[in-house]
Amino acid sequence: MAHSEEYLERYNLIDEATGKRFQATSLINPNSNRPNLTYEFGGHTRVWRWTRERMKAAEAAGEIYFPPRGGIPRQKRFLDEQEGVPVSDVWTDIPPLNSQAQERLGYPTQKPLALLERIIAASSNEGDVVLDPFCGCGTAVHAAEKLGRQWIGIDVTHLAIGLIEKRMTEAFPDIAFEVKGRPQSLSAAMDLAARDKHQFELWALSVVDAVPWKGGRKGADGGIDGIIWFKPDGKRTEKAIVEVKGGGTGVKDIGRLAQVMQREGAPLGVFITAQAPTRAMERDAASVGVWENELTGRKHPRLQILTLAEIFQNKRPDIPWVDASAVKKARREDTTKQGKLL
Ligand SMILES: C[S@@+](CC[C@H](N)C(=O)[O-])C[C@H]1O[C@@H](n2cnc3c(N)ncnc32)[C@H](O)[C@@H]1O
């Protein structure tokens, strides 16, 4: 383990010859009755810790510090020669993730990456396989990849697997890994919808890059299953409300989503349905109108219906994801309008 800040502050002197940081520690012997260690050195007669020969050798090696104005000589203890502190069985130097932590993914039991890195570094070698059979949002597999280990992560919920897929591709853009157990076909997704409504919902949300509402907990959702956050101008955050229906559906559901969008002040809504929508549903969705992104001038349907079949044809919601070049262009035009130089 690295030294604490408090420890490092003790190394407050710099050796002129080498530029190395050191602290000056006492050379005085705590025993007063040691005639063979009593001699004059540096203008002081004291009982020293070392024999005269050893003291002379240390002086020749530049290991003795002579304080200004004839102070008592001391030993130079160089920082780079001190070993780190062995890790104890109580770790207090890695703080838990706070609600504002950059690495926070919203998974309720998420652990700090630094913690898993220490555990993996201490208990495996590069190239070893790390298995986390309850991997949650994948902190252990992230640490394993970072430290050059192979890894296998297992979790029972699609919320975890969806998050890990996103997390790993964002952290390691060139990474290649295989995901097993996610619906790979329309019939597999239909089967999941019939078997487990909640897991189907979590899977569908992860496919459209939505964050499950209230961390994916079951229960009354107030008409919201998930949220897609986006920044249409690269600064302001907006949301699309996502509603997932694995079973029967009808116009009532569209009306309800429109109401929730209004209540939440959300410019967009996405309705994911296993069943194909009726004409009336499509009509009602279209009647919610379009939302124009001021930055790009593009119009996006406010209430979008996306079927499972379309998902497997790789269709995704029409979200104004922030486009760095559009933002740059708009800022440039804006600045030019104001007559300022870039
Ligand atoms: C404490 S969390 C893991 C947290 C993880 N270490 C992290 O930092 O994100 C435990 C995980 O076990 C998963 N789990 C529970 N029962 C399971 C089972 N039978 N098989 C696989 N995973 C399961 C849960 O979904 C949950 O994500």
pLDDT tens sequence across 50-87: 999 999 999 999 999 999 989 999 999 998 888 777 77
Token pair recorded at residue 339 = 């007559």
Of the options 3.40.50.720, 1.50.40.10, 3.40.1350.10, 3.30.70.3000, the CATH number for the domain spanning 186-328: 3.40.1350.10
What are the DSSP E strand ranges found in 72-223?
A: 74-78, 129-132, 150-153, 211-212
Query: Residue 75 burial (CB < 10 Å; 0-12/13-18/19+)?
Result: middle
Nearest CA to ligand 1 atom 4: 136
Nearest CA to ligand 1 atom 20: 156
Q: Which residues of the chain have pLDDT under 70?
A: 106, 215-222, 323-342
- Rounded to the nearest angstrom, the distance between the alpha carbon of 192 and the centre of ligand 1 is 20
Q: What pLDDT score does 67 carry?
A: 93
Nearest-atom index, ligand 1, CA of 138? 9
Q: Residue 238's CB: how many other CB atoms inside 10 A? A: 18
Token pair recorded at residue 331 = 């800022």
- Rounded to the nearest angstrom, the distance between the alpha carbon of 160 and the centre of ligand 1 is 8
Contact 49/27 with Cβ under 8 angstroms?
Answer: yes
Nearest CA to ligand 1 atom 2: 136
Collapsing DSSP states into helix, strand and coil, what is residue 11?
coil
- Rounded to the nearest angstrom, the distance between the alpha carbon of 187 and the centre of ligand 1 is 27
Q: What pLDDT score does 333 carry?
A: 61
C-alpha to C-alpha distance for 176 and 342, rounded to whole angstroms: 40
- Rounded to the nearest angstrom, the distance between the alpha carbon of 228 and the centre of ligand 1 is 24
Nearest-atom index, ligand 1, CA of 132? 6
- Rounded to the nearest angstrom, the distance between the alpha carbon of 144 and the centre of ligand 1 is 17
What are the DSSP E strand ranges found in the chain?
A: 13-14, 21-26, 38-41, 44-47, 64-65, 74-78, 129-132, 150-153, 211-212, 226-230, 238-245, 268-273, 290-292, 299-301, 303-307
Q: What pLDDT score does 216 carry?
A: 56
Domain ranges of the chain: 5-81, 113-171, 186-328
The neighbouring-strand residues paired with 299 are 292
Backbone angles phi, psi at 43, to 5 degrees: 85, 10
Q: What pLDDT score does 27 carry?
A: 95
Identify residue 119 by its one-letter amino acid code: I
Q: What pLDDT score does 339 carry?
A: 41
Nearest CA to ligand 1 atom 19: 156
Nearest CA to ligand 1 atom 12: 134
- Residue 333: which H helix or E strand, with range? helix 324-337
Taking only the tens place, the pLDDT of each residue in 224-243 is 999 999 888 888 889 999 99
Question: Any residues with Cβ below 6 Å from ligand 1, and which?
Answer: 107, 109-111, 134-137, 139-140, 154-157, 160
Contact 302/269 with Cβ under 8 angstroms?
Answer: yes
- Rounded to the nearest angstrom, the distance between the alpha carbon of 241 and the centre of ligand 1 is 27
